[in-house]
Structure 1
Amino acid sequence: MHRATAAANPLQTLLDLINSTLSLLLRSSLTVHSFVGRWTALNSKLASLHSSVADISDSPHWAQNPLLHTLLPQLLSTLQRLTALADQCTDAEFAGGKLLMQSDLDMASSSLTNQLRDLDLLLRSGVLHQSNAIVLSHPAPGSDKEDLAFFIRDLFTRLQIGGVEFKKKALESLLQLLNGGDDKSPGLVAREGNVAYLIHLLDFHQQPSVREQAILAVCLLASADDESSRKAVFEEGGLGPLLRILESGSTHLKEKAVMAVEALTADPENAWAVSAYGGVSVLIEACRSGSPATRTHAAGAIRNIANVEEIKIALGEEGAVPVLIQLLLSGTITAQEKSANCIAILASSDEYFRALIIRERALQRLMHLIQDLPSSDTLEHVLRAITSLSASDSCSKILSSSTLFLVQLAEFIKQGNTTLQQISVSLLAHLLVHVSDGNKRALGSCMGSLVKLMESPKPVGLQASAAQSLLSLLTVRSNRKELVRDEKSVMRLVQMLDPKNHEMVGSDFPVAVVAAVLSGGSGGCRKRLVAAGAYPHMQRLAEMEVAGAKKALQRLTGGRLRTIFSWTWRE
Structure 2
Amino acid sequence: MQSDLDMASSSLSDHLHHLDLLIHSGVLHQSTAIVLSHPAPSSSKDDIILFIRDLFTRLQIGGAEFKTKALESLLQLLTDDEKSASLVSREGNVAYLIHLLDLHNQSLIREQAVAALSILVSLNDESRKTVFEEGGLGPLLKVLETGSNPLKEKAAIAVEALTTDPENAWAISAYNGVQVLLEACRSGSPATQPHAIGAIRNVAVVEDVRAVLAEEGAVPLLVQLLSSSAAAATREEAAGCIAILAASGDEFRDSIINERGLQRLMSLIHDSPSSDALESALRAISSLSRVDSVNRILSSSTVFIVQLGELIKHGSLILQQVASSLLADISITDGNKRAIAGCMSSLVRLMESPKPVGLQDSASRALVSLLSVRSNRKEFVRDEKSLTRLVQMLDSRNEAVPKKLPVAVVAAVAASGGDGCRRRLVAAGACQHMQKLAEMEVGGARKAAQRLAGSKLKTIFSRTWRE
Q: TM-score, normalising length from structure 1? A: 0.74
User: What's the % identity of the aligned pairs?
Assistant: 68
Cross-structure match for 1:473: 370
Distance 1:162 1:548 in 2: 78
Distance 1:505 1:215 in 2: 51
Cross-structure match for 1:184: 83
- Are residue 144 (structure 1) and residue 44 (structure 2) matched? yes
1:203-214 equivalent positions in 2, closer than 5 A: 203=102, 205-214=104-113
Contact 2:119 2:158 (C-alpha < 8 Å) held by counterparts? yes
Choose which of 415, 425, 436 in structure 2 pairs with 1:529.
425
Distance 1:450 1:172 in 2: 54
Secondary structure at 1:142 match in 2: coil
> Deviations 1:491-521 (Å, cap 9, x if unpaired)?
12222333333x3334433333333323336
Contact 2:132 2:168 (C-alpha < 8 Å) held by counterparts? yes
Cross-structure match for 1:156: 56
Which amino acid in the other structure matches residue 390 of structure 2?
Answer: L
Choose which of 331, 334, 339 in structure 1 pairs with 2:233.
334
Cross-structure match for 1:493: 390
Cross-structure match for 2:198: 300
Contact 1:136 1:173 (C-alpha < 8 Å) held by counterparts? no
Distance 2:113 2:449 in 1: 76
Contact 2:318 2:356 (C-alpha < 8 Å) held by counterparts? no
Distance 1:344 1:409 in 2: 17
Report the CA distance shift for 1:139/1:350 in structure 2 as closer, same or farther (over 3 A).
same
- The structure that has the greater radius of gyration is 1
Distance 2:256 2:101 in 1: 38
- Are residue 462 (structure 1) and residue 462 (structure 2) matched? no
Choose which of 119, 125, 138 in structure 1 pairs with 2:25.
125
1:368-447 equivalent positions in 2, closer than 5 A: 368-431=267-330, 434-447=331-344
Which amino acid in the other structure matches residue 166 of structure 1?
Answer: F
Contact 2:27 2:34 (C-alpha < 8 Å) held by counterparts? no
> Deviations 1:453-494 (Å, cap 9, x if unpaired)?
333344444333333332332222111111111111221222
Contact 2:181 2:199 (C-alpha < 8 Å) held by counterparts? yes
Cross-structure match for 2:416: 520
> Deviations 1:163-194 (Å, cap 9, x if unpaired)?
23322332233233233x11232222222221
RMSD of the alignment, in Å? Answer: 2.7
1:220-299 equivalent positions in 2, closer than 5 A: 220-223=119-122, 225-299=123-197
Secondary structure at 2:100 match in 1: helix
Report the CA distance shift for 1:481/1:247 in structure 2 as closer, same or farther (over 3 A).
same
Number of residue pairs matched? 459
Contact 1:296 1:331 (C-alpha < 8 Å) held by counterparts? no
The range that moved more, 530-539 or 298-307, is 530-539
> Deviations 1:20-47 (Å, cap 9, x if unpaired)?
xxxxxxxxxxxxxxxxxxxxxxxxxxxx
> Deviations 1:516-552 (Å, cap 9, x if unpaired)?
3233362322332232223333344455555544543
Report the CA distance shift for 1:142/1:404 in structure 2 as closer, same or farther (over 3 A).
same
Contact 2:49 2:87 (C-alpha < 8 Å) held by counterparts? yes
Cross-structure match for 1:166: 66
Q: How far does residue 559 in structure 1 lie from its aligned partner after superposition?
A: 5.8
Which amino acid in the other structure matches residue 365 of structure 1?
Answer: R
Contact 1:554 1:560 (C-alpha < 8 Å) held by counterparts? no
Cross-structure match for 1:96: none
Distance 2:436 2:222 in 1: 56
The range that moved more, 509-518 or 388-397, is 509-518
Distance 2:336 2:301 in 1: 8
Secondary structure at 2:101 match in 1: helix
Report the CA distance shift for 1:134/1:544 in structure 2 as closer, same or farther (over 3 A).
closer
> Deviations 1:382-439 (Å, cap 9, x if unpaired)?
11111111111111111111111111111112222211111111111111xx322222
Distance 2:110 2:417 in 1: 81
Secondary structure at 2:389 match in 1: helix
Contact 2:34 2:54 (C-alpha < 8 Å) held by counterparts? no
Q: How far does residue 207 in structure 1 lie from its aligned partner after superposition?
A: 2.8
Cross-structure match for 2:465: none
Distance 1:377 1:261 in 2: 21
Q: How far does residue 226 in structure 1 lie from its aligned partner after superposition?
A: 3.2
Cross-structure match for 2:464: none
Distance 1:547 1:244 in 2: 59
Distance 1:158 1:545 in 2: 75
Which amino acid in the other structure matches residue 464 of structure 1?
Answer: D
Report the CA distance shift for 1:495/1:249 in structure 2 as closer, same or farther (over 3 A).
same
Report the CA distance shift for 1:322/1:523 in structure 2 as closer, same or farther (over 3 A).
same
Contact 2:422 2:455 (C-alpha < 8 Å) held by counterparts? no
Cross-structure match for 1:453: 350
Cross-structure match for 2:463: none
Q: TM-score, normalising length from structure 2? A: 0.90
Q: How far does residue 301 in structure 1 lie from its aligned partner after superposition?
A: 1.0
Distance 1:450 1:373 in 2: 24
Cross-structure match for 1:484: 381
Distance 1:134 1:558 in 2: 91
Contact 1:389 1:395 (C-alpha < 8 Å) held by counterparts? yes
Contact 1:255 1:293 (C-alpha < 8 Å) held by counterparts? yes
Which amino acid in the other structure matches residue 285 of structure 1?
Answer: E
Distance 1:215 1:534 in 2: 65
Distance 1:163 1:334 in 2: 40
> Deviations 1:338-371 (Å, cap 9, x if unpaired)?
2211111111111111111111111111112111
Contact 1:553 1:561 (C-alpha < 8 Å) held by counterparts? no
Any stretches of 5+ residues in structure 2 without a counterpart?
461-467
Report the CA distance shift for 1:505/1:114 in structure 2 as closer, same or farther (over 3 A).
same
Choose which of 486, 499, 505 in structure 1 pairs with 2:401.
505
Which amino acid in the other structure matches residue 247 of structure 2?
Answer: S
The range that moved more, 475-484 or 514-523, is 514-523
Cross-structure match for 1:556: 452
The range that moved more, 478-487 or 448-457, is 448-457
Contact 1:167 1:210 (C-alpha < 8 Å) held by counterparts? yes
Q: How far does residue 307 in structure 1 lie from its aligned partner after superposition?
A: 0.5
Contact 2:377 2:417 (C-alpha < 8 Å) held by counterparts? no
> Deviations 1:33-91 (Å, cap 9, x if unpaired)?
xxxxxxxxxxxxxxxxxxxxxxxxxxxxxxxxxxxxxxxxxxxxxxxx7xxxxxxxxxx
Q: How far does residue 314 in structure 1 lie from its aligned partner after superposition?
A: 1.1
